[in-house]
Chains A and B, each alone.
Chain A
Amino acid sequence: MLGLNKQDTRLLLLVVILTMAAPFILNPFPEGSAMAQFNAGYPDLMQRFVIFGIFAIGFNILFGLTGYLSFGHAAFLGIGSYAAMWMFKVLGMNVLPALALSVIMSGIFAVFIGYISLRRSGIYFSILTLAFAMMSYSLAYSVLATDMDGPDKQGLLQKGLTGGETGLQLTLQDPRILGQQTTAEGNIPVPSLFGLEMRSAAELNVGDWVFTFSAGYYFAAFVMLLSFYLSIRIFRSPFGLVLKSIKSNQQRLNYTGMNPKPYMLAAFVISGMYAGLAGGLMASMDPLAGPERMFWTASGEVVLMTILGGVGTLIGPVLGAGAIKYMENILSKINSDILHTWFAFLPDGLEDFVVAIIYPFIGKGWHLTLGIIFMLVVIFLPGGLVQGGQKIAGMFRGKKAADEKADGKTTPAE
């Protein structure tokens, strides 16, 4: 179906079903119950799942297929966000032109950054990409944030191209030449798809359960599915095969009459455009773009997502993105009061002891938990969560079935 083989089609269908049913799947606990804080089915978080999924899918096209580790991909995320914001300011609140500009601008920057960074390989390539991302960050933070209007004017460029530390925001004065400048109530309009507001949502009450269906989530999920489908096609294409051969033995490829440089650059630009698309979607869900989106920790995060999920696998990056965003948003909300209510059944002394042990790993300490999980995965499951899934499936279905699955669905590129 759709030019995919059976196993890839099955994987795509599975992802379609999971994303479409996510508001149910991610909200398994009834509202008001003790477990309700583990519910992840609220629009803001679900949007982040799919948007970072796109970011990681794109990153995996570069890192998973060619083995080149970019440590500066957040630059494209930021560029995508700023580009979308400028479309909202100048043209109107429709998300489609905004996303188009996000992809185009990040692509242009990726050609430039990739062309220079790809002159080196290995650690030097990573350092060059990191340097470019940090330059982009400081450009956004200060250099491009100076008043470009002239001190006596209050125009579009009053806070420069990026808005500096506070970020780029929409204002009532933005021209929005193709859309409405202000709403009927005199507010700033919100991003929408031909009138369908991204922030609009419908709620469904079933007993004690509340399920939220957000327009923004479904739009972002649709874009993610398209991106995912495209990445399967790339993985299975002659281009994808050449990228894998670069990772395997670049010397042999050179002496086989292919020039690895343009292949690498194409992979870099494609993955930069994925990142730009993710950045544009972020701005579409919440119209604000700040420089911290380009900070090196954001670049590191997508590396973690990809490795955690499974480098070079199709679905791994999406899983990794989901796992990290879940921990970031759910674990970090748990505080010591909540722990005390959970362990209230224990004798007092023991309760305090257990809470004291767990406490460093929750709330602000969620990074600690992430670090431990990451270490465990890298040491015991070098193929990431996907390998873990395959092992579990293998235990259920016997070894043979697991091997079959390993050849098809989620063949690691290594």
Chain B
Amino acid sequence: MGILEVKNVGKRFGGLQALSDVNLSIAERSVHAIIGPNGAGKSTLLNCLVGKLIPDTGSVMFDGQSVLGRKPHEINQMGISRVFQTPEIFGDLSVLENMMIPCFAKRDGAFELNAISNVLSQKDVVERAEHMLEEMNMADKRHMTSSSMSRGDKRRLEIGMCLSQEPRLLLLDEPTAGMARADTNNTIDLLKQISEERDITIAIIEHDMHVVFSLSQRITVLAQGTPLVEDTPDNIKGHPKVREAYLGETQTAA
């Protein structure tokens, strides 16, 4: 059984059946990609996993526990971290402060009234955040206001923030969308390194075939809200149904 088990999930927006009968099993310590044309329902599926949306039907189990009905912060505390399509960071805060927030969340849980002691006196959190910044090669930027960084650096910071919580499952929604090739390659390398070095499962939604084939061990193709096929990258490349539904027009571009 996989670390994440999605069974018969359906989601309807008014007249639109965005997801129907989605079954998905993600094996522990694998990199699993979900691909599909625009509007296939990839983001909707991801939102059902992190508590942003509640599916109309079906179940979502993480490590044997249902995530349905739990709030986003509760799901995060279970061990699922999420990276957004456009980097979501605390733009007004410094890079170091950005990194400290997830470290506080990891140490203190969803709420802790620690209103008198100085942030910098919390040595364990500061060290952990500094350490993570070094791992992300961002230590020199620690005092920058995070909103002033490049998009690639924001993405890097966001991934670092997620990793600092040592999640068991990392979800990424098109992490390279809108990025220059160099930033995209950096992000791929970073994700490769993460998946090799850490005890972590990665589920990635991606449009960019280059990213998908160089990263993942398994691929699920989603089309019109239902999984079309699920297989290894090599088999997916040659799959006639996939070529027809999806790859036909993008492979030349990739």
Give me the interface of A with B, judged by CB distance under 8 Å: 3, 5, 233-234, 236-242, 244-245, 247-249, 251-259, 262-263, 266, 270, 413-414
Contacts and interface: CB of A to CB of B under 8 A. Distances in A.
Contacts of A236: 118-119
B141 to A, nearest CB: 15
Given A237-B114, A237-B117, A258-B111, A249 B90 contact: yes
A258 B101 contact: yes
Contacts of B105: 256-258
Contacts of B76: 254-257
A254 B118 contact: no
Interface bracket on B: 35 or more
B77 interface: yes
B88 interface: yes
Contacts of B82: 255
Contacts, number: 111
Nearest to B167: A257
A252 B111 contact: no
Contacts of A262: 110-111
B71 A259 contact: yes
B91 A248 contact: yes
Contacts of B244: none
Nearest to A251: B88
Interface of B: 50, 71-73, 76-77, 81-82, 84, 88-93, 97, 100-102, 104-106, 108-119, 121-122, 125, 161, 165
Interface centre among A238, A252, A258 (most CB of B within 10 A): A238
A266 B113 contact: yes
A369 to B, nearest CB: 33
A275 to B, nearest CB: 17
B207 to A, nearest CB: 21
B160 to A, nearest CB: 12
Given A249-B89, A413-B92, A256 B119 contact: no
A241 B101 CA distance: 8
B122 A238 contact: yes
B104 to A, nearest CB: 6
B101 to A, nearest CB: 5
Contacts of B125: 238
A6 to B, nearest CB: 13
B73 A259 contact: yes
A240 B120 CA distance: 12
Interface centre among B110, B112, B114, B118 (most CB of A within 10 A): B118
A56 to B, nearest CB: 19
Contacts of A238: 104, 108, 112, 114-115, 117, 119, 122, 125
Contacts of B121: 3
Contact of B92 (A3, A5, A247, A254): A247
Nearest to A253: B101
Contacts of B115: 233-234, 237-240, 266, 270
12 contacts: A237-B116, A241-B119, A244-B93, A244-B97, A245-B97, A248-B92, A251-B88, A254-B71, A257-B73, A257-B109, A258-B101, A263-B111
Nearest to B146: A248
Nearest to B105: A257
Given A256-B76, A257-B102, A258-B110, A245 B90 contact: yes
Contacts of B106: 257
A242 B104 CA distance: 9
A75 B227 CA distance: 56
A3 B118 CA distance: 7
Given A240-B115, A253-B101, A254-B76, 9 more contacts: A233-B115, A238-B104, A244-B90, A245-B93, A254-B73, A256-B161, A258-B101, A258-B111, A259-B110
A255 B101 contact: no
Nearest to A233: B116
